[in-house]
């Protein structure tokens, strides 16, 4: 059946990146450091997954001290990314060659406002993004811009503990409103926050916070941060609707669909509740109010929030135009306390025996993507955009400059087929931007070895290499997929 289903005309095929992992140039043209710029590369060891993101106040102080002393043992990979700052023309030409219709990128807040507190932005930073947008339009590529993909000026982590503090709402909306005012004629599609739910996994990464420094218990601190981000997002969404009605504003969550471990009703109930908690963010941003399920969760877990003044009206007035999400894997939930997932990690304790797993333990589940698309559309009736998906893998650059990544083609093919099936189910899907369309620094491990791209970048985990770009086999395959609007997936 799926072969007769067509992708809609104007489907936005493309690829996704983030400033923090891609852009580099963190010490150029007055740019300030972000809190991500203090994440250090640590060689991956069994059981160490995500340690790089779980930064404690002691680690933060240690990193700052070694950074100040220029200790060569301390490498901070997000400062360099893969140097889009100097390669943007070359990279965009490659995206153009693949036929991209859209390109997802984000803005580094501290490139415009180094400490997050300046009234006026830096001219060099403002011009850099104008140049990038101009270059994209030269190739007929529509920018899809995430206002904030995790990174906040590091000074705001230090001075006010990031998103825990209500002051962040005013500071961030100042930045985000500037983006709308300045770039509204060049950028139609905007996402407010990348994976707004990320602080549940890493409060440092997602909230720019060191929870140990907060006077609150960790869960309260995290949900206080969510509250401030949701309010800030709604304020800016309404601002864009009022001042730039041609712009379309979306949200972005890390979508995680869970299956019940067994068909015991208790497992099913636990699964439903886990799914509701994940959908909480969509509920607020699409429907404009806190769902009862989350209020119950607060009651049951002693989470007491300081509600932002007038937040109910703000949320109601600032609902998004479309929903976007990242999709990498699904989870498995059991009601059995011994089988419950520990909080704060991505690799699931309960493995799904019916699925294959990547080298990083991520379950490959294209059917889960079709389920996710149907579930989201049934629940919200808003257009959907898959703005991240892909396979992180070890790639090998051959001596002749080729990279044979049939495993990636296979992965993407299966997921594109699942999207096509969901379109056949009646789900309006706006586009698909596979993650890390060009190799960049992996978020979870702060390393280059985990690669997602159609384009190989010659750089290693410690920042050595030529940074030259090479087309992988998947580059030519995706070019054909786009040229045929998803008809030819062979």
Taking alpha carbons only, the member of 26, 448, 136 closest to residue 457 is: 448
Number of helices followed by number of strands (H, E) in the chain: 15, 14
Cβ nearer to ligand BG6, comparing 21 with 214: 21
| Interactions with ligand BG6, residue window 336-375 (CB under 6 A) | none
Cβ nearer to ligand BG6, comparing 156 with 437: 437
Q: How far is the CB of 313 from ligand BG6 (least distance, A)?
A: 30
Site string for ligand BG6, 443-482 (x = CB under 6 A): xx-----x--------------------------------
- For 158, the token pair is 């230090």
Q: Choose, by CB under 6 A, the member of 282, 388, 421, 461 that binds ligand BG6.
A: 388
Torsion angle (degrees, nearest 10) of CA 311, 315, 317, 319: 170
Cβ nearer to ligand BG6, comparing 7 with 346: 346
Is 215 strand, coil or helix? coil
Cβ nearer to ligand BG6, comparing 52 with 247: 52
Q: What stretch of H or E contains 158?
A: helix 154-160
417 sits near ligand BG6 (criterion: CB under 6 A): no
Site string for ligand BG6, 421-450 (x = CB under 6 A): --------------x------xxx-----x
- For 354, the token pair is 């019916």
Q: How far is the CB of 450 from ligand BG6 (least distance, A)?
A: 5
362/347 Cα distance (integer angstroms): 7
Size of the site for ligand BG6 (CB under 6 A): 13
Cβ nearer to ligand BG6, comparing 110 with 433: 433
229/268 Cα distance (integer angstroms): 31
Q: How far is the CB of 149 from ligand BG6 (least distance, A)?
A: 6
| Interactions with ligand BG6, residue window 248-277 (CB under 6 A) | 254
Q: Choose, by CB under 6 A, the member of 91, 164, 195, 395 that binds ligand BG6.
A: 195
Q: How far is the CB of 91 from ligand BG6 (least distance, A)?
A: 17
Is 414 strand, coil or helix? helix
Classify residue 263 as exposed, middle or buried by CB count within 10 Å of its CB (0-12, 13-18, 19+): exposed
Kindly give the interhelix angle for 123-138 and 84-98, rounded to the nearest 10 degrees: 20
Cβ nearer to ligand BG6, comparing 291 with 344: 344
Q: How far is the CB of 223 from ligand BG6 (least distance, A)?
A: 20
| Interactions with ligand BG6, residue window 109-168 (CB under 6 A) | none
- For 241, the token pair is 């609707």
Taking alpha carbons only, the member of 424, 391, 385, 395 closest to residue 408 is: 391
Give the CB-nearest residue to ligand BG6. Answer: 444
Taking alpha carbons only, the member of 482, 231, 193 closest to residue 324 is: 193
Q: How far is the CB of 436 from ligand BG6 (least distance, A)?
A: 6
Taking alpha carbons only, the member of 434, 483, 486, 431 closest to residue 455 is: 434
Beta bridge partners of 13: 432
Taking alpha carbons only, the member of 338, 362, 366 closest to residue 352 is: 362
Catalytic residues: 195, 388
Q: Choose, by CB under 6 A, the member of 34, 106, 110, 194 that binds ligand BG6.
A: 194
For the chain, the helix, strand and coil percentages under 3-state DSSP, each to the nearest 5: 45, 15, 45
Site string for ligand BG6, 313-332 (x = CB under 6 A): -------------x------
Q: How far is the CB of 178 from ligand BG6 (least distance, A)?
A: 23
Cβ nearer to ligand BG6, comparing 388 with 405: 388
Q: Choose, by CB under 6 A, the member of 331, 392, 431, 463 that binds ligand BG6.
A: 392
φ/ψ of 258, rounded to 5, equals -115, 145
The site for ligand BG6 (CB under 6 A) is made up of 18, 21, 194-195, 254, 326, 388, 392, 435, 442-444, 450
């Amino acid at each position: 059946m799926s072969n007769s289903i067509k992708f809609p005309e104007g489907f936005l095929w493309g690829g996704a990146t983030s400033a923090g992992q891609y852009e580099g140039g963190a010490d150029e043209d007055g740019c300030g450091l972000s809190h991500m710029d203090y994440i250090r590369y640590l060689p991956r060891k069994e059981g160490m997954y995500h340690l790089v993101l779980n930064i404690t106040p002691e680690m933060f102080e240690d990193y700052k001290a070694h950074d100040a002393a220029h200790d060569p043992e301390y490498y901070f990979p997000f400062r360099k990314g893969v140097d889009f700052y100097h390669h943007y023309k070359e990279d965009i030409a490659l995206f153009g060659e693949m036929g991209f219709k859209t390109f997802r990128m984000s803005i580094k807040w501290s490139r415009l406002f180094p400490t997050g507190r300046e009234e006026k932005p830096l001219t060099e930073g403002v011009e850099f993004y104008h140049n990038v947008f101009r270059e994209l339009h030269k190739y007929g590529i529509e920018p899809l811009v995430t206002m904030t993909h995790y990174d906040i000026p590091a000074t705001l982590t230090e001075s006010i503990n990031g998103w825990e503090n209500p002051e962040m709402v005013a500071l961030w909306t100042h930045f985000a409103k500037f983006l709308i005012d300045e770039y509204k004629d060049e950028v139609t599609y905007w996402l407010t926050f990348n994976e707004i739910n990320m602080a549940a996994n890493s409060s440092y990464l997602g909230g720019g916070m060191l929870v140990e420094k907060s006077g609150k218990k960790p869960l309260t601190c995290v949900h206080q941060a969510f509250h401030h981000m949701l309010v800030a997002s709604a304020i800016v969404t309404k601002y864009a609707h009022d001042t730039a009605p041609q712009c379309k504003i979306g949200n972005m969550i890390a979508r995680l669909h869970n299956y019940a471990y067994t068909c015991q009703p208790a497992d099913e109930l636990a699964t439903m509740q886990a799914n509701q908690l994940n959908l909480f963010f969509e509920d607020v941003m699409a429907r404009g109010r806190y769902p009862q399920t989350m209020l119950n969760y607060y009651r049951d877990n002693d989470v007491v929030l300081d509600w932002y003044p007038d937040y109910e009206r703000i949320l109601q007035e600032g609902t998004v135009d479309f929903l976007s999400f990242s999709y990498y894997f699904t989870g498995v939930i059991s009601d059995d306390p011994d089988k419950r997932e520990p909080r704060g990690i991505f690799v699931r304790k309960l493995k799904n025996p019916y699925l294959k797993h990547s080298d990083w333990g991520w379950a490959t589940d294209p059917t889960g993507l079709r389920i996710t698309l149907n579930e989201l559309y049934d629940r919200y009736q808003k257009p959907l955009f898959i703005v991240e998906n892909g396979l992180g893998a070890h790639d090998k650059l051959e001596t002749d400059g080729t990279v044979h990544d049939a495993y990636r083609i296979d992965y993407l093919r299966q997921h594109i087929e699942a999207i096509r099936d969901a379109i056949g189910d009646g789900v309006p899907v706006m586009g698909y931007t596979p993650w890390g369309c060009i190799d960049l620094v992996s978020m979870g491990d702060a390393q280059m070895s985990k690669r997602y791209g159609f384009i190989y970048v010659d750089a290693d985990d410690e920042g050595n290499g030529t940074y030259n770009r090479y087309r992988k086999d998947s580059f030519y395959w995706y070019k054909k997929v786009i040229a045929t609007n998803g008809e030819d997936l062979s």
